[in-house]
Amino acid sequence: MIEDNHSLATEFILTGFTNNPELKTLLFVVFFAVYLITMVGNLGLLALIFTENCLHTPMYIFLGNLAVMDACCSCAITPKMLENFISKDRTITLHECMVQFYFFCLAETADCFLLAAMAYDRYVAICRPLQYHTMMSKLLCIQMTIGAYIAGNLHSIIHVVLLLRLNFCGSHQINHFFCDVLPLFRLSCVDPYINELMILIFAVSIQIFTITVVLSSYFSILFTIFKMKSKEGRGKALSTCASHFLSISIFYGCLIFMYIQARSVKGDNDIPVAIFYTIIIPLLNPFIYTLRNKEVINVMKRIMTNRKPHNILKLISSKCVNPPH
C-alpha cells in the first residue's frame, strides 16, 4: 500500500476553474475568443514585420520574436484548458504535463531576455543615435535573439529534469488549469527543496540580470530625454518607449509576484496571476505595440489603402490600357 500510494504518477487531473456546467460553457466561449484574438494578433504582427522591409530593424525583429513566444505560450496552455471545459475527462499524462511546462517555461524565459534586448535597443536609439547602426548591428541582433532562445531552452530542460526526479502521490489532482511547478510541488511525496532552490536561483538570476538591463537602459533614456531642449524631441522619445515600458511593467510585475510565493501552501492565489501572465499578456502585447506605434499603424494604413477596391480596379485598368511589352 505504501509503495502504491507513493508510486510515480502516470497522469494528473487538472481541476481547472469550476465544475459548474453553465459557467464552464461561458468560460469556454470567453477563453476561446481570447485565444483566437491572441493568435491572430501575434501571428498577424509577425507576418507584418516579416513582409514589410521598413520593419526589418532590430526593434521589430525582437518584437517579432516576442510575438512568436507569446503565441507559443498561448498554444501550450489554452488548448488543453479549453478541452477541459467541454470534456469530462480532465486528465493530462505526465509526459504531456512536462511538455506543456517546457514550452511555457521556454516562452516566459525567452520573453525576459527579448524584453531586455528591446530596452537596450531603445537605449542605443535615443542615447547613442549616431552610433546606432554600429552598436546594434545585424549580427548582434541575431546573437541576442539566439541567446534568448538558448537561455529559454536550457532553463526549461533543467526544471523538467528536476521535476522528473519527484514522486507524486495522493489524488494526483493539480489545483490549477495547467502544469505549473508550484501546484506540482504540492503533490510531491519527495521534498521539493532542491527544485524550489533551483527555481529561486534561476528566477532571481534571470530577473536580476534582465531587470538591471531594463532599468539601467531606461534611467539613461530618461536622463537623455530630460536634457533635450525640444518638446517635440521629448515627446517622440517618450512615445517610442511608452509601449515597451508598459509591457515590461505588466510582465515583470506578474512574474515577481507569482514566484515570490514559491513556498506558498495555498494554490488558489496562483490562478488569477497565472491567467494574467499566460493568457492576458500574450493577448495584450500585440495591441500594446501596434496601437501605440506610429510606424506599424502607418504600414497597416498603407496596406489597407492599397487593398481598397477602387485601387485594385485602377491597377487592373492601367494594365489593360498599357499592357506590358
Residue pLDDT, tens place only, 214-243: 999 989 988 888 887 777 767 777 777 777
> Which residue has better confidence, 204 or 5?
204
Q: Please report how many Cα atoms fall inside a 13 Å half-sphere around the Cα of residue 53, on the Cβ side.
A: 0
Task: Give me the sign of the Cα torsion angle 180, 184, 185, 191.
Answer: negative
> Which residue has better confidence, 32 or 288?
32
CA distance 84 to 81: 5
CA distance 143 to 285: 23
How much is the average pLDDT of 30-47? 95
Q: What is the mean pLDDT of the chain?
A: 83
- At 34 the pLDDT is 96
- At 169 the pLDDT is 77
Grid cell at residue 218: 531606461
Mapped to the 3 state alphabet, what secondary structure does 265-325 carry?
CCCCCHHHHHHHHHHHHHHHHHHHHHHCCHHHHHHHHHHHHHCCHHHHHHHHHHHHHCCCC
Q: How far apart are the first and last CA of the chain?
A: 86
Place of cell 512615445: 239
How much is the average pLDDT of 308-318? 48
What percent of the chain lies above the pLDDT cut of 90? 40
State yes or no: pLDDT of 209 exceeds 50.
yes
State yes or no: pLDDT of 271 exceeds 90.
no
- At 54 the pLDDT is 83
- At 105 the pLDDT is 94
- At 319 the pLDDT is 43
State yes or no: pLDDT of 71 exceeds 60.
yes
State yes or no: pLDDT of 314 exceeds 60.
no
State yes or no: pLDDT of 73 exceeds 70.
yes
Helix (H, G, I), strand (E, B) or coil at 137: coil
How much is the average pLDDT of 125-130? 90
Q: What is the CA radius of gyration of the chain?
A: 23
CA distance 273 to 291: 25
CA distance 287 to 62: 16
- At 75 the pLDDT is 95
What percent of the chain lies above the pLDDT cut of 70? 84
- At 312 the pLDDT is 44
Task: Say which range, 9-18, 171-180, 290-299, has the weakest mean pLDDT.
Answer: 290-299
Grid cell at residue 171: 489524488
CA distance 35 to 30: 9
- At 113 the pLDDT is 96
State yes or no: pLDDT of 251 exceeds 90.
no
State yes or no: pLDDT of 32 exceeds 90.
yes
- At 117 the pLDDT is 95
State yes or no: pLDDT of 127 exceeds 50.
yes
DSSP code string of 150-201: HHHHHHHHHHHHHHHT--B-TT-EESSSS--HHHHHHHBSS-THHHHHHHHH
Grid cell at residue 136: 546594434
Angle between helices 231-259 and 281-291 (to 10 degrees): 180
Lay out the sheet containing 11-14: strands in order across. Answer: 91-93, 11-14, 173-174
